[in-house]
Structure 1
Amino acid sequence: ALGLPVSVETSPTLGYLSAATRDSLEEKWLQIDLGETYPIDEIRLVAAESDAFEVVGGRGNPCLMMVELSEDSAFAGPVWQQRAGGGELLGYPGGCADILQASGYRARYLRIVTKELWSRERQRVFALAEVQVYSGGKNVALGKRVTAKDITDKPTSTGWAPEFVVDGFSSKYRLIEYPQYLDLLGQRAALQRERDSLNELRASKVRSTSLVLGYGGASLGAIAIFGCGSMLVRQRNVRRRAVANLREQIARDLHDDIGSNLGGIVLLSQMGSRHYGDAQAREDFAEIKDAAEETLQSMQDIVWLIGRGGVGLRDLVARMRAATEVIIGDTTLSLKVDPPDFSDYELSLFFRRHLFFAFKEVLNNVRKHAAATEVEVKIAIDRDNLTFEIRDDGVGFDPERAIGHGNGLGNLERRAQRLNGTCRIQSSPGEGARIFFEAPLQSHSK
């Protein structure tokens, strides 16, 4: 398959994202007013692709949805309908559009109604990157008016809005037509052949130049010594850029290959846990889903850590807030950042890694072991330190006996030591727990 026809222009938007629900059968809908009646030939649905925890791994694409066409905005008259979603191996058409043939049905309005949603940490959303509606070879949905049952409470600046589902972009790149796409593929092949020819010519010139330098080596010795310093500086800069490029490439490979496979395992195991007849098999599928989902989230965190240069304090705190909401889930949560607005500056990978994983370690312990009904999270930033404090009203434990029993408390203390920080654990059986973690900022800023 050719996949999505895209250019190299990156997308400024992600698409449409609904408000979250806990009911997989709650109907969500998205409606496009084409402005006038057209004979509709084809409809293309492009799945949203993003690291956002609600939709990662294709989770925003519904298990099942109904695509409808009508000349009536209320869809009260004759309606064309076709089912979509749920037929792909991974649960969503990763890298391709879901294409529906409408055979010239005349309509002004298109509506997409979800019938079943995938889950993500007990949250379910409806998301699409783009909807294309073709009539006579032209996408007549581009830039048209879009309405929806509900929308996410995330600001438009995050890339989600109803109008972004008809802006001509997937979640990653600008969408183009297949003839233009095929032309670009042909141009790319020609450029690759030209590059290979130029590389061969360069190699030939290098061999010739080496012979000349061999004869004139004595006269060039002084110049070589003079230029040695600047050459070393350039080489150091080149190596630094190469390391940064390699880090970004590894992050992309993790996201595109391993992330896609883990997302597929989650979706397949979720299907098995719902539809397989044997109770033990359903339970096993559910365990596989939970393990794959947790691994997928951990991999997304690693991609975030290694794949971006220039990550600052604000980005780290935003990631901590998002992780709190995902991990704590249904438990009553109080989350406070003090002060709400603070100065931003770049932090080292070393600091971000140890502090963020320490923070997640505490949250996961609360979720798995505390049986808490209320959790309070405070993140404090001052000129010298970043501090987090997590309290719960759960079953509590004896800190002296708990360390070393697979609950990560020893890891917390080791991470604090590596950051030249402090970690204090206060708890007793039946009295809940309080974890305090503080690390100095200045020695780890860039």
Structure 2
Amino acid sequence: MIATPQSPVKFNPFAPGFREDPYTTYQGLRQQNPIHNTLDMWVMTKYQDIIQVLNSDAVSVNYIPQYVVQQKVGDIPGLVELGQKAIVFTDPPDHARLRRLAGQAFSNTNINAHTAHVQQLIAELVAPKIPEESFDFAQIAHQIPLYTLSHLLGIPQEYIKTIDEYIHRVRSILEPSLLTKMRIRRIEQDLQSCLAIFQEIIDYRKTHLGDDLLSKLIQARVGEDRLSDSELGIACVMTYVAGHETSKGLLTNGVLAFMQHPEQWQIFREGKATSKQVINEILRFDPPLQQTVRLAVSDLQVGSHNIRKGEKMLLCLASANRDEDRFDNADTFDITRDAAAQIAFGHGIHNCLGQTIARLEGQLLFTYLCEHVREMKFGANDYRWHPEGFITRTLTYLPVSFIPASYVSSTDMKNPSPNLSPTGGEALKI
């Protein structure tokens, strides 16, 4: 993109080629127009500016629910309640209360207790594909978080496919630019159907508690306070909404980065970087969550710009992660760097509560591939990014060919552990 001093680069996610390469635009914005008003919002692209906003008490996360209500599409009680009770959409003090309760279930200890299951799940899904000449890794990347989240929540197998279909459509709530009135009405229908399923499971779990996160959410207490049934159902919905597509993006974007930078794969296989470093660098280099939205609830100043109460801000997290003032050689994929300061999961009080799950999936997948795959190559010349939206960046098609490590036999890969079935909890007898 060529820009003159009279026509600086502006954020335009609908421009040809942006979906395939947003980073050239981000670089131009950081250099020429790091904070500007376009598309009825303030677009911010520098690391320090975005950190300031994410730490500010002058902003709200409730923009998307407000936008939905403002569309005046009729009776949408489910979406209204989602905006009031989902951690990702609530401001203090409601946010602090919900996070204290949900945080008891989504602790590192509770999640990491399921490590062995996720390891086995990955082996079950990936091992049979390694001997194939080419396969679509995006399909595997879809299944890993779907089955992981279902297992963690204790969702019975018979519900998983239906929940996945509903959540696929409900997830578009995160892309406000796509929310037509007709689409909002469809999301409301799917949300209500999904909540009905979760309520059935919640009713059963109350008398059949287990080690799953839903059981721990039911048992969570702060004094006499606990999560209501509707809050429990919304927590289940948002675990999938916020945790599935982003985890899928972490896995696909990571495999793509390694195929484009094969020398980094060899560095990993030689033990010169940890799996934690790998995940942090993937999240920094090509994060699945590209932007987040905030609404000013009082005036604030960012840099030399005055943001007025009621104005929207689009914070380009992916651009911040490539900010040359924060990360040396920011456009270089380097798994040996310290990328812990990346903000792919947000920052401040609204940093992602479920990021431990995504990190677990990512570290276990790339550790498994490191042990079993010598090289990762493109299985075909084309790969495809998700065709809709710009808040998230994930691949819908990624043909790959895994060249197995010499010490792993094809028989071993075709016959992984027979004990795992990639499902959720036991069948409910209700």
Q: Which TM-score band (shorter chain)?
A: under 0.3
Work out which structure has the larger RCO, using CA pairs closer than 8 Å and 6 or more positions apart in sequence.
2
Q: Which has the larger radius of gyration?
A: 1
More strand by percentage: 1
- Per the normalisation by structure 1, the TM-score is 0.23
- Per the normalisation by structure 2, the TM-score is 0.23
More helix by percentage: 2
